[in-house]
C-alpha cells in the first residue's frame, strides 16, 4: 500500500491508495515528484482558490500574471544579496529537438542552445520586482498589491505527495508600500486572511505566530506563519506571510519619490499558500473510510442514491430525488443525483464516503411509501430516517452544523494534543509518547533551538501571537524567557 501522506499512520495508508485510484484525487506522475490532480481533487482546489481569491479582493488586491521562465541573470542579482535563496531549479538550456541520427526517437538539437539559460520559476520575486522597478516612481504609484495564481517548480531532493511536490500550484502575493508600518500591517492582515480561511473554510484550527530567525524566509525581516496539527501529531506549516523590509527593493533598485520629494526604497511583503493545503485537508480530517470534507469545500455537498429493483421504481424515485435536488439547488447547495445503473447502492455508498461527500440521501421503495429518506452524515457516519417534507431546509442547516462540528473536532484534538513542558526531560517524553504541540520556554538563541532540533527533531513552529506573558526559564539554558513558544515535530 502506498503510505504517502503519513508514513507513521497506518489508517490513512489503508484507504489512501484506493482514493488515489478510484476517487481521482492525485497520483504520482512519471515526471519526478510532480502530481496529477484528477478532476474531483481539482474541484476541491478550485473551491479553495475561489474562497481565497474573494478574500484577497476584499483586502484590496488584484490578480496579475508574470512569466514562467526567468532569465538566469535575474537570479544572480538576488543570490548576491539573499544568502541561501538558491533553490533546486529546473533550467531550460535548449529550445529545439530534432530526429535522432540513429533514427530512434528525438534528441536535443545541440545547435539550439540558448545564449542565456532560463529558470523555471521556483518563486517569482525576481521577475516581479524587476517589473515593479518600472512601475514605481512616485508615492502616488503605491501601494501595489498584486497576487498571482501560478505553478512553480522546485527540484527538491525529496518529494512528498501534496506536501512537497516538484511542481505545485500556489498563489503568491507581492506588495510594495511607501512606509514600513503599512508593509508590516499588510503582512499581518494576510496572515489573518490565511488563518480565517483555514478555520472557516477548511475547518482546520491554526496557531498564528512569528517564525524564529533560523526558520525565516531568506531575505525576510519577519516571517509569519499559520501552523496546523495533523492527526498523527505532527505539525504542518500551512501558510506564510513575510515582511521583507527594504531588502528586495535594494536588490532590485526600486525607489520612489516621497511626498517630501526624497528618494526612498519601497517596503515589501510577500505571502503564499499552495496545494499543500490539500494535504493539510486530507490529514486533518480524514478517517479510515476516506476523505472527510468540510461542506464549504466539498465539490458535491449532497448525493442522492436511489435504491430500486425495477425500472418503474427508479423512475419514481428519481422524480422525488430530482425534486429534492431542485429544492437544494435553490438554497445554494450543490447536489448530485446518482441514478447510474452500473453500480449498486453499496458500491456508491462506499465511493462517496471515500470522496468525503458530507451528506448522503438514500431513497428506496420503502421511503416512497412512507415519504421518508435515509440521511447519512459523513463526519459522524450516522444514519437517520427523515421525513421528505422539509428535508431541503434541514439539510441546509445541517451542512452548517457539519462544518462547525468538523472544526470543533479538530480543535478538540489540537487542545488534547497541546501540552506544556517545564523541563527538557518532560519535553522529550511528550514528543516521544504523544507528539503534538509542546509549549515550552526558550532563551531565544539559535544555539538552543539547534540543539533541540538535533536531539529531538522538534522545531519551534512559531512564537505565537497574542499568547499571554508568562515569565519562566529556558528548559535548556535556564535563562529567563518571557513567554512559551510552540514546539513540534513537523512535516
Positions in the binding site for RNA (CB under 7 A)? 1-4, 7-8, 15, 17-18, 21-22, 28, 30-33, 84, 88, 154, 156-161, 163-166, 168, 170, 217-218, 237-240, 272-276, 289, 307-309, 341, 344-347, 349-351, 353-354, 362-368, 374, 376, 381, 383, 457, 490-491
User: Taking the complex as a whole, how short is the minimal distance between the CB of residue 371 and RNA, in angstroms?
Assistant: 11
> Which of residues 23 and 406 has its CB atom nearest to RNA in the complex?
23
CB nearer to RNA: pick between 86 and 97:
86
Choose between 17 and 448: whose C-beta lies nearer to RNA.
Answer: 17
Whole-number minimum distance, CB 209 to RNA, in Å?
A: 14
Nearest approach in angstroms of CB 101 to RNA is: 18
**Smallest gap, in angstroms, from Cβ of residue 52 to RNA?**
14
Classify residue 52 by burial, with Cβ atoms within 10 Å: 0-12, 13-18, 19+: buried
Smallest distance, RNA to C-beta of residue 104, A: 11
Q: Which is nearer to RNA, 78 or 136 (CB)?
A: 78
**Which is nearer to RNA, 78 or 367 (by Cβ)?**
367
Task: Tell me how far apart the alpha carbons of residues 360 and 437 are, in angstroms, rounded to a whole number.
Answer: 35
Closest by CA position to 371, among listed 324, 309, 311: 324
Q: What is the DSSP pairing of strand 302-306 with strand 335-337?
A: parallel
Nearer to RNA, 242 or 414 (CB): 242
Instruction: State which residue, 4 or 297, has the beta carbon closest to RNA.
Output: 4
- 370 vs 482, which CB is nearer to RNA? 370
Least gap, CB of 42 to RNA (angstroms): 16
Considering the complex, what minimum distance in angstroms separates the CB of residue 391 from RNA?
13
* Closest approach of RNA to the CB of residue 38, in Å: 13
Shortest distance (Å) from residue 321 CB to RNA: 12
Q: Are 77 and 212 in contact (CB under 8 A)?
A: no
Which C-beta is closer to RNA: that of 173 or that of 364?
364
3-class SS string, the chain = CCCCCCCCCHHHHHHHHHHHHHHCCCEECCCCCCEECCHHHHHHHHHHHHHHHHHHHHCCCEECCCCCEEEHHHHHHHHHHCCCCCCCCCEEEECCEEECCCCCCEEECHHHEEEEEEEECCCCHHHHHHHHHHHCCEHHHCCEEEEEEEEEECCCCCCECCCECCEEEEEEEEEEECCHHHHHHHHHHHHHHHHHHHHHHCCCCCEEEECCHHHCCCCCCEEEEEEEECCCCCEEEEEEEEEEECHHHHHHCCEEECCCCCEEECEEEEEEEECHHHHHHHHHHCECCECCCCHHHCCCCEEEEECCCCHHHHHHHHHHHHHHHHHHHHCCCCEEECCCCCCCHHHHHHHHHHHCCCEEEEECHHHHHHCEEEEEECCCCCEEEEECCCHHHHHHHHHHHHHHHHHHHHHHHHHHCEEECCCHHHHHHHHHHCCCEEEEECCCCHHHHHHHHHHHCCEEEEEECCCCCCCEECCCCCCEECCEEEEECEC
Shortest Å distance, C-beta 137 to RNA: 31
Q: How far is the CB of 437 from RNA (least distance, A)?
A: 17
- Between 345 and 472, CB nearer to RNA: 345
Kindly tell me which of 257 and 465 has the beta carbon lying closer to RNA.
465
Strand 267-274 relative to strand 235-245: parallel, antiparallel, unpaired? antiparallel
Q: Is the peptide bond prior to 146 cis by the omega test (within 30 degrees of 0)?
A: no
Amino acid at each position: 500500500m502506498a503510505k504517502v501522506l503519513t508514513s507513521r499512520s497506518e489508517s490513512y495508508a489503508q484507504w489512501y491508495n484506493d482514493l488515489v485510484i478510484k476517487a481521482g484525487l492525485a497520483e504520482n506522475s512519471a515526471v519526478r515528484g510532480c502530481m496529477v490532480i484528477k478532476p474531483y481533487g481539482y474541484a476541491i482546489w478550485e473551491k479553495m482558490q475561489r474562497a481565497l481569491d474573494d478574500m484577497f479582493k476584499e483586502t484590496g488586491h488584484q490578480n496579475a500574471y508574470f512569466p514562467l521562465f526567468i532569465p538566469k541573470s535575474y537570479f544572480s542579482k538576488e543570490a548576491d544579496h539573499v544568502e541561501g535563496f538558491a533553490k533546486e531549479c529546473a533550467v531550460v538550456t535548449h529550445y529545439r529537438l530534432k530526429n535522432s541520427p540513429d533514427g530512434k526517437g528525438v534528441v536535443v538539437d545541440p545547435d539550439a542552445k540558448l545564449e542565456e539559460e532560463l529558470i523555471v520559476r521556483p518563486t517569482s520575486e525576481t521577475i516581479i520586482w524587476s517589473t515593479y522597478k518600472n512601475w514605481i516612481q512616485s508615492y502616488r504609484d503605491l501601494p501595489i498589491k498584486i497576487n498571482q495564481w501560478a505553478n512553480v517548480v522546485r527540484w527538491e531532493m525529496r518529494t512528498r505527495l501534496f506536501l512537497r511536490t516538484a511542481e505545485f500550484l500556489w498563489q503568491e502575493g507581492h506588495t510594495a508600500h511607501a512606509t514600513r508600518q503599512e508593509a508590516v500591517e499588510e503582512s499581518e492582515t494576510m496572515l489573518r486572511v490565511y488563518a480565517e480561511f483555514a478555520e472557516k473554510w477548511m475547518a482546520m484550527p491554526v496557531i498564528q505566530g512569528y517564525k524564529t530567525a533560523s526558520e525565516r524566509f531568506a531575505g525576510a525581516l519577519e516571517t509569519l506563519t499559520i501552523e496546523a496539527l495533523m492527526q498523527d501529531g505532527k505539525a504542518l506549516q500551512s501558510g506564510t506571510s513575510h515582511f521583507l523590509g527594504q531588502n528586495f527593493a535594494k536588490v532590485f533598485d526600486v525607489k520612489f519619490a516621497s511626498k517630501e520629494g526624497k528618494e526612498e526604497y519601497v517596503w515589501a511583503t510577500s505571502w503564499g499558500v499552495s496545494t499543500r493545503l490539500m494535504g493539510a485537508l486530507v490529514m486533518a480530517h480524514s478517517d479510515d473510510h476516506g476523505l472527510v470534507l468540510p461542506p464549504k469545500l466539498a465539490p458535491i455537498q449532497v448525493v442522492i442514491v436511489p435504491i430500486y429493483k425495477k425500472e418503474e421504481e427508479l423512475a419514481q424515485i428519481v422524480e422525488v430525488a430530482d425534486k429534492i435536488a431542485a429544492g437544494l439547488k435553490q438554497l445554494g447547495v450543490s447536489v448530485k443525483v446518482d441514478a447510474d445503473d452500473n453500480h449498486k447502492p453499496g458500491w456508491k455508498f462506499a465511493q462517496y464516503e471515500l470522496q468525503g461527500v458530507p451528506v448522503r440521501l438514500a431513497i428506496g421503495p420503502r421511503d416512497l411509501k412512507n415519504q421518508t429518506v435515509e440521511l447519512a452524515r459523513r463526519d459522524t457516519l450516522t444514519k437517520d430516517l427523515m421525513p421528505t417534507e422539509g428535508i431541503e431546509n434541514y439539510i441546509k442547516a445541517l451542512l452548517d452544523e457539519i462544518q462547525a462540528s468538523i472544526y470543533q473536532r479538530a480543535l478538540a484534538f489540537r487542545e488534547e494534543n497541546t501540552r506544556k513542558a517545564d523541563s527538557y526531560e518532560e519535553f522529550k517524553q511528550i514528543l516521544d509518547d504523544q507528539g503534538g504541540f509542546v509549549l515550552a520556554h526558550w532563551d531565544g538563541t539559535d544555539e538552543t533551538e539547534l540543539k533541540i532540533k538535533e536531539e529531538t527533531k522538534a522545531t519551534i513552529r512559531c512564537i505565537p501571537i497574542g499568547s499571554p506573558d508568562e515569565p519562566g526559564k529556558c528548559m535548556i539554558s535556564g535563562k529567563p524567557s518571557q513567554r512559551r513558544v510552540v514546539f513540534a515535530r513537523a512535516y
